[in-house]
Structure 1
């Protein structure tokens, strides 16, 4: 029996990235969002070092934004469309009930494209909320994450940035950056909280997780 690939181990090269990007940009439709079990979701994504042209990068970012909106979602990482590249797009302009927004510290997030991102927690405070993922459609689970982070990243012009994010914005950035290391949200979740979308809507779609924590024992 052969050895199974180690999650997070590099499985792809620059030629794979170039071919995957070209195929997606040449298609006449939005790319398919790959689901859990696809090998690219468990690979260490490659740092962006100029594997594709500036025009291709700009077009890819715009295509990822459109794909994210169509899903719909608030973030999308390149591995989620089969490209093992350290690139993600983030945006949250959805209207949510005021009680939910307050409980989750959810503020609108303007569109942001990040290359080679990495984050560090600011302080020790954490928050736990239900999350879903476009690459695990139909399920949600509670994940404990840092309340505030410093997100360092490059923009598409090569400039280096550091941005402090808190609340739901920080959660989105952590979730998408994790994808670039072969990590999906379920790796960090309280698995006893795992719920189908239907059961979440019926039982746990509340501003906080107190009832779910008490009933599901996590």
Structure 2
């Protein structure tokens, strides 16, 4: 039986100059509790795996990829958001650039009780989007690739990204938390509901918006 390290080595070698395929919703790996990282890969392989995740995320394109999304049940994810949105959208969604980083064994806790609802999607369920009401601010904790434990407060879209990717590592996908009546095809979202804040969508589709 192949070990986790063997599987990562095989994946890295197969896609050394390419991007890994994204696992689609319905694959059991997306519903598992990912294995905590405790050095199973070693520094060199860890670095190569992070590079593969980074290439895959950027090519998608996305703002985050968790290891289970490439078929590896390991508690780590990469995140980055250049935030290429108009100023009006950036202000309404608190979406500002997030520099690339790797989160190993991440966790988060809500700061306060304020929630915000916005449309989000997932690379593992392309073609759809829905509103998720999430904590506006979180205390994020993770280990970086250098082995240092990091604590930082994230707010707005950065907090949303961190929550979304960390949820993946517990077998939770955004569809588990969405407002059901908000679910839309990407085309309908683009044509009807791509406002800075989904107030109109909430009114016309009849869902709760924080």
TMscore range, shorter length:
over 0.9
Instruction: Name the SS for the 2:182 alignment partner.
Output: strand
Q: What are structure 2's unaligned runs of at least 5 residues? A: none
**Equivalent residue, structure 1, for 2:142:** 153
Q: TM-score, normalised by structure 2?
A: 0.95
Measured in 2, the distance between the counterparts of 1:147 and 1:99 equals 18
After TM superposition, the runs of 4+ consecutive aligned structure 1 residues lying more than 6 A away are none
Say if 2:83 and 2:95, in contact at 8 Å, map to a contact too: no
Answer yes or no: is 1:26 the counterpart of 2:13.
Answer: yes
Instruction: Name the SS for the 1:208 alignment partner.
Output: coil
Measured in 1, the distance between the counterparts of 2:33 and 2:191 equals 36
Measured in 1, the distance between the counterparts of 2:150 and 2:19 equals 29
RMSD: 1.1
Change over 3 Å in CA distance of 1:16–1:191 after alignment to 2: farther
Say if 2:110 and 2:137, in contact at 8 Å, map to a contact too: yes
Answer yes or no: is 1:89 the counterpart of 2:89.
Answer: no
Instruction: Name the SS for the 2:101 alignment partner.
Output: strand
Instruction: Name the SS for the 1:35 alignment partner.
Output: coil
Measured in 2, the distance between the counterparts of 1:127 and 1:87 equals 25
Say if 1:20 and 1:82, in contact at 8 Å, map to a contact too: no
Instruction: Name the SS for the 2:35 alignment partner.
Output: coil
**Equivalent residue, structure 2, for 1:197:** 186
Offset at residue 51 of structure 1 (A): 1.1
**Equivalent residue, structure 2, for 1:68:** 57
Q: Within 5 A, what are the aligned runs for 1:121-200?
A: 121-200=110-189
Answer yes or no: is 1:206 the counterpart of 2:190.
Answer: no
**Equivalent residue, structure 1, for 2:93:** 104
Q: TM-score, normalised by structure 1?
A: 0.92
Measured in 1, the distance between the counterparts of 2:33 and 2:123 equals 19
Q: What are structure 1's unaligned runs of at least 5 residues? A: 1-12
Answer yes or no: is 1:39 the counterpart of 2:28.
Answer: yes
